[in-house]
Structure 1
Amino acid sequence: MALLQQEKQQIIESYRLHDTDTGSAEVQVALLTSRINQLSQHLQRNPKDFNSRRGLLMMIGRRKRLLNYIAKHSPDRFRELAERLNIRVKK
């Protein structure tokens, strides 16, 4: 299930870096995390939904690449984002 427009706007507003920011890496990670959480709950209820499982794994991979980018370019923002989203990070 996709995010509702209102939920998406709320996430964008809370993670954006400036007023017109809708696509920064931080916003993308926050949106992906929300979708990953929803899909994880779906897969707990529907364990045989292998197509959704593949989509989940692809989203996790995309989020990991974005997090690596943020960690490389701005370690402070990376730590703050990981704490806000409750993402486990290797130390």
Structure 2
Amino acid sequence: MYLTAEKKQEIFAKHGKSATDTGTSEGQIALFTYRINHLTEHLKKNRKDYNTERSLVKLVGKRRSLLDYLKKKDIIRYRAIIKELGIRK
């Protein structure tokens, strides 16, 4: 499995408030970004895997809505997570 419990805790510890705090927007955005990157690599090898493509599009939409929420609530945190994850150029 590509996403183990240890990897999740590491992502939440780095981007969230703590390793067990999975509710922060930054932690969820970081987790979605990790999953999106993994699915993108998978689709480069398996371009006819339409189920994975659909789940990738849904994940991107979820991340986009979380980013919109964070931008509306706290623009400084939004800019920090964008810069840290390298989502925008």
**TM range, normalised to the smaller chain?**
over 0.9
Which residue does the alignment assign to 1:22?
22
Aligned residues of 2:43 and 2:52 also touching (Cα < 8 A)? yes
Runs of 4 or more consecutive aligned structure 1 residues displaced over 4 Å after TM superposition: none
CA distance in 1, matches of 2:20, 2:50: 37
Name which structure has the greater RCO, CA cutoff 8 Å, separation 6+: 1
Which residue does the alignment assign to 2:64?
64
Identity of aligned residues (%): 42
The two structures have a TM-score, normalised by structure 1, of 0.90
Gaps of 5+ in 1: none
Deviation at 1:71, TM superposition (A): 0.4
The alignment covers a number of residue pairs equal to 89
Aligned residues of 2:15 and 2:27 also touching (Cα < 8 A)? yes
CA distance in 2, matches of 1:70, 1:83: 14
Corresponding letter in the other structure for 1:48: K
The two structures have a TM-score, normalised by structure 2, of 0.92
Change (3 A) 1:4 1:19: closer
Q: Counterpart of 2:17 in 1: which secondary structure?
A: coil
Which residue does the alignment assign to 1:47?
47
Q: Does residue 1:35 correspond to 2:35, yes or no?
A: yes
